[in-house]
Structure 1
Amino acid sequence: MVRPGANLLGAALVLAALLAGCADVPLEGAPSPSSTPTKPTPTRSPTHGPGPTNSLSTPPPVTPTPPPGPHLAAAAPVTRSFPGRLPSGKPPLFVVVSFDGAGDLALWARWRAVAKRVNARMTFFLSGPYLYPGDHRADYKPPYHRPGASDIGWGDASNVLARTTVLRQAIAEGHEIGTHANGHFCGTTGIGRWTTAQWTAELSAFDQMVRTGPTLAAGKAVAPPFDPATVKGMRTPCLEGNRPAYRQAMVQRGMLYDASAPGYIAWPKKVNGLWNFPLQSVTLAGTTKPTLTMDYNLWFSQTGARVAPVAQAPALKAQVLATYRQALAKSRANGNPPLFLGNHFNSWNNSVYSDALTTFVEETCTQPDVRCVSNMELVSWLAKYGEPSGRNRPT
């Protein structure tokens, strides 16, 4: 049974997700975001009507095949196993940290180092253009937009190859790569009206960017950083999209979970054939404001997504950290359902959200009942043990 007021809260969650859309930081060389970002305005060509699908042209094959060795694509990360019950009789309290975009190289280094310090595994939802050189952008043909359109820019030869290396290293460390789709089109002219066929083509375009982007950037055969078939989850741009439509495309592709929808701190269920791993409704510490466990939404709740004076950063960070701690305590009080925390590769609002998340991860992931895992590690645990009995009601 859903507790009283859940319908109103659900409506508020949807509104919050729409108002506080999560824009990715543009790639190096792309226009910088303003100091008061809003939901990105899609780039739309008036000379192109709606297309039936989006696509990515397949470039001519490049030979020779790279020899065995460090240039081979990385294997899927090793999935750790966890007990069904702790000595307390409760299941482990899984904390799942994930990032959208996954482009900035310095932040890749930061989060890999944080994870290593506390034996955490994280999920990185990669945007396809981060691995595709901009001089080939016209290969991408999204619906309702001109060929090559992207609201987050494109890569260039040097950063595509650098990301290829970093992705291999991160996967070897046990981190998971998901997809954040490609052009990041949000709002009324964005992904909300895409059909299953268009989503199928969007996912195929992502796969092709992963497979061929490094080769195009290098001008010679370079194996992709990972096999796109190992990508089993997605977070949609701005948390938008017709969920039955894109989830059908995901199921047909063999994917296992969706991390896009707003939700509650509760044990996950399958919806439309996929595990639903939500960004969760929490209360901003010290207020009665509902928000989601995503950095942009926290920023929107705190300052309307405006940059506050730097002198306010310590207090804002403390509020975010207290919000995370409250959410963890709420999980513990209700049978340890997973806690899902979303972030971007950013330094928004004087790095308040990245700094608060760093502190929370470092103080939480070593606690005896906590396991900081990737989404796919949680999928594997759920597949083995199932949802703990009687613990799926929203809290």
Structure 2
Amino acid sequence: MVSRRGVLLAAAAAGTLAGCGPARHSAPAASASASAVPSARPATSSTPPRVRLIGDGSTSDTGPQPHQPVARALGPGEEPPQFVVFSWDGSGRADLFTRFRELARELNGNMTFFLTGLYTLPKSKRMLYRPPRHPAGASALGWFSDKSVHGTIGQLGPAWLAGNEIGTHFNGHFCGPGGVERWSPSDWDSEIDQALSFVRSWRTNTGFTDIPPLPFDYGKELTGGRTPCLEGQKNLLKASRVQKWKYDSSGTGTQVWPKQWKNGLWQLPMQGIPFPGHSFEVISMDYNIMFNQSRTPHGDPARHAAWKAQARDAYLAGFRRAYDGNRAPLIIGNHFENWNRGIYMDAVTEAARAMAQHPNVRFVSFRQLVAWLEAQNDAVLQRLRALPVGRAPRGGWTGYLGGAA
């Protein structure tokens, strides 16, 4: 389980960083057995999709999302795949968005990009944002330049068409005292409505005419998110807009198989993973690893190589514990940030490529993971959830799941 010390170390930070927040977030493959889960990139028709523009033409309905795996139930005694979810909070830099879209393609899988709604809103239109319990136009993130807004919007369509998920990281990223922890369910409804509005109306708000409509209806696409700094989840889950979602990835947990809240949402939190060289675990997110290493995004360059190796090895330790154990999905959170000169993005890349060398590993989005979970027999899920962290079934998967499917 997650060491309390590991969580407390991360919680010691009081300030916030652009694109992330307080270090309360403390502490993943390409080949697969044909019997487990079909390819993440099934053949698709070459016929151009029919486009139905929505609203001002910022978004459109082009039909079902391409490159989606077909979820099916495990057969009797069948070994579950090792699912790995790479997710990105904010998703607001075009160069890094491109980099990790390409990595997902290399891995023959998909990722989840939690879009911050303000990254589609120009600074000149900041007064359109009315954050709950803050003045109009306020933002803990600052504001993007028009060029950056243009670049971010331009990434969303290609990412979705490649099979990746566009979730939400909400808008203003208000953490700590006076932040989202104090928001009511109605405050969260307002925040979600505004996030949807900014994406649905980017053409009106920006005036850009050289970007095609997004190929999806964001109101239908949006089925989950992650709160700023992993705070405010209690009232988020009571918000009326969230009742139509499929999952939430806020909060922290352990490497066990997911379960659902009473409202039906899947609990897919950040996880505690082994932290090489320490007796405590770290939450599986770049910010928390960084904080436990340097306390600052501008740490000693002489230690960058060692810190990168430690971050990579933490991800791989979490992977091996699940892969050789209970096969619980590994959930990793990241940011488009060059903390300590980008070592955490390099660590994620190296870890993912190493994970991809193992059979029966799947790099999926949260939405794809939920689809698989919902395709399973309840008895199978109950058996999977009964396995503790890192514990493989005695006698192997054939006997353990043989009578549950």
Query: TM class, shorter-chain normalised?
Result: 0.7 to 0.9
Distance 1:38 1:251 in 2: 24
8 Å CA contact 1:120–1:365 kept in 2: the answer is no
Give the Cα separation in 1 of the matches to 2:15 and 2:94.
20
Alpha-carbon distance, 1:119 to partner: 0.7
- Tell whether the 8 Å contact from 1:100 to 1:345 is kept in structure 2 after alignment: yes
Give me the TM-score of the superposition, normalised by structure 1.
Answer: 0.81
SS in structure 2 of the partner of residue 143 of structure 1: coil
Letter in 2 for 1:392: R
Which of 228, 232, 248 lines up with 1:258 in the alignment? 248
2:139 equivalent among 142, 150, 154:
150
Residue 250 of structure 1: CA displacement? 5.9
Give the equivalent residue in structure 1 for 2:65. Answer: 77
Which residue of 136, 149, 154 corresponds with 1:160?
Answer: 149
Matched, 1:391 2:384: yes
Task: Give the equivalent residue in structure 1 for 2:173.
Answer: 184
Per the alignment, do residues 250 and 331 of structure 1 end up closer, same or farther by CA in structure 2, a change over 3 Å counting? farther
Distance 2:98 2:246 in 1: 28
Shift of 1:165: 2.1
- The reply to whether residue 374 of structure 1 matches residue 357 of structure 2 is no
Counterpart in the other structure of 2:110: 121
Q: Say which SS state the counterpart of residue 256 (structure 2) adopts.
A: coil
Q: Is the CA contact 2:236–2:242 (under 8 Å) kept in the aligned structure 1?
A: no
Tell me whether 1:95 sits opposite 2:78 in the alignment.
no
**Structure 2: gaps of 5 or more residues:** 24-53, 390-405
The question of 1:322 aligning with 2:313 is answered yes
Q: Is the 8 A contact 1:84 1:91 kept in 2?
A: no
Counterpart in 2 of 1:47? Answer: none
Pair 99,24 (structure 1): closer, same or farther in 2 beyond 3 Å: farther
2:88 and 2:333 in contact (8 A); partners too: yes
CA contact (8 A) 1:186 1:238 kept: yes
After TM superposition, the score normalised by the length of structure 2 is 0.79
CA contact (8 A) 1:132 1:214 kept: no
Contact 2:224 2:248 in 1 (8 A): yes
Contact 1:165 1:225 in 2 (8 A): no
The corresponding residue for 1:238 is 229
Q: Which residue of 2 aligns with 1:331?
A: 322
> In structure 1, what residue type is equivalent to 2:260?
K
SS at match of 2:84: strand
Aligned pair 1:131/2:126, yes or no? Answer: no
Determine if the alignment matches structure 1 residue 350 to structure 2 residue 341.
yes
Structure 1 residues 314, 11: closer, same or farther in 2, change over 3 A?
closer
By how many angstroms is 1:114 displaced?
Answer: 1.1
Q: How many positions carry a matched residue from both structures? A: 353
Sort the Cα spacing of 1:115 and 1:22 in 2 relative to 1 into closer, same or farther, 3 A: farther
Return the alpha-carbon distance in structure 2 between the equivalents of residues 71 and 233 of structure 1.
19
Q: Which runs of 5+ in 1 are unaligned?
A: 1-5, 27-36, 41-62
Question: Alpha-carbon deviation of 1:339?
Answer: 0.3
What CA distance in whole angstroms lies between the structure 2 residues aligned with 1:73 and 1:218?
A: 21
Give yes or no for contact 2:3–2:280 (8 Å, CA) kept in 1. Answer: no
Between 139-148 and 258-267, report the one with greater CA deviation: 139-148
User: Are residues 237 and 86 of structure 1, via their aligned partners in 2, closer, same or farther at CA, if it must alter by over 3 Å?
Assistant: same
How far apart are residue 246 of structure 1 and its match? 0.4
Distance in 2 separating the partners of 1:383 and 1:21: 39
Counterpart-to-counterpart distance in 1, 2:62 and 2:140: 29
Q: Deviations over 1:212-235 (max 9, x none)?
A: 123221166974564222110110
Kindly indicate whether the alpha-carbon contact (under 8 Å) linking 2:92 and 2:119 is maintained by their aligned counterparts in 1.
Answer: yes
Matched residues, percent identical? 34
The answer to whether the 8 A contact 2:83-2:369 is kept is yes
- Determine the C-alpha separation between the residues in 2 that align with 1:13 and 1:259: 20
Is the alpha carbon distance of 1:299 and 1:244 closer, same or farther for their aligned partners in structure 2, counting shifts above 3 Å?
same
